[in-house]
Homo-oligomer: A and B are copies of this chain.
Amino acid sequence: MPTAAMLVIGDEILSGRTQDVNVQVLAQALGAKGIGLAEVRMVPDVEAEIVGAVDALRSKYDHVFTSGGIGPTHDDITADCIAKAFGVGIDVREDARAILATNYADPENDLNEARLRMARIPDGAALIDNPISKAPGFTLGNVHVMAGVPKIFAVMVESVVATLEGGAPLISEEHRVESGEGDLAAPLAQIVARHPEVSIGSYPRIVDGRFQVNVVARAVDRAKLDAAMADIRTL
């Protein structure tokens, strides 16, 4: 199965001001395509941190998706960091400028210096369409650079993931047990051992003060998943 990592760029998540919602959107889109999200990192708007994380992740995984930092303000440094990570140049690109210009009645005046920052694209990158606010993302090598605003992130993910070569999608089912994990750990371990090609996880929750466990099984093969679920439903 192809692998992917996500890099969330931005002080607003790390400060606790904003609740991230993009990780789950990407994870679900990749899962449906048969690509496994294997790691997520969240780093601040600091060049060395972004460059270091991009380099670590792009050499380890088939794909890297970044969110955030591609707007027009002083703290939007993602595009420059990607160029630095790849050792390529970056400048305003005419096709990106033309796309931005369609946003304005009077682009000559409205497409100011700050907005033109959003047309700065690292050399060799392919643009990612942004039907909501026009400012494009881009793909360079195996790194897909997308906006952090959740609505824009979601449409960019959809268009990028559609172009990728996926694996066999994991199918999953779950079974809820109304008890603590301690009671089902031993029988569950036996079930796990009997179904080596099924990935089985046990996720405790507290609902209305009572412990519940969701046992989730994932597999590529429907028959193997069904066999494991038959065992899991005996818990």
Asked if A186 and B113 sit within 8 Å, CB to CB, the answer is: yes
Asked if B73 and A188 sit within 8 Å, CB to CB, the answer is: yes
| Chain B residues within an 8 Å CB radius of A24 | 13, 16, 18-20
A interface, over-half SS: mixed
Taken together as a complex, chains A and B put the C-alpha atoms of A114 and B182 apart, in Å, by 6
**Residue of A8, A200, A202 with highest tally of chain B CB at under 10 A:** A202
Asked if B20 and A20 sit within 8 Å, CB to CB, the answer is: yes
Taken together as a complex, chains A and B put the C-alpha atoms of A10 and B203 apart, in Å, by 9
Q: Mark A32-49, 1 if CB is under 8 A from B, else 0.
A: 000011111111110001
Asked if A149 and B205 sit within 8 Å, CB to CB, the answer is: yes
The residue in chain B whose Cβ has the minimal distance to the Cβ of A203 is B12
Q: Is A105 in the interface zone, CB < 8 Å from B? A: no
**Residue of A14, A40, A113, A202 with highest tally of chain B CB at under 10 A:** A14
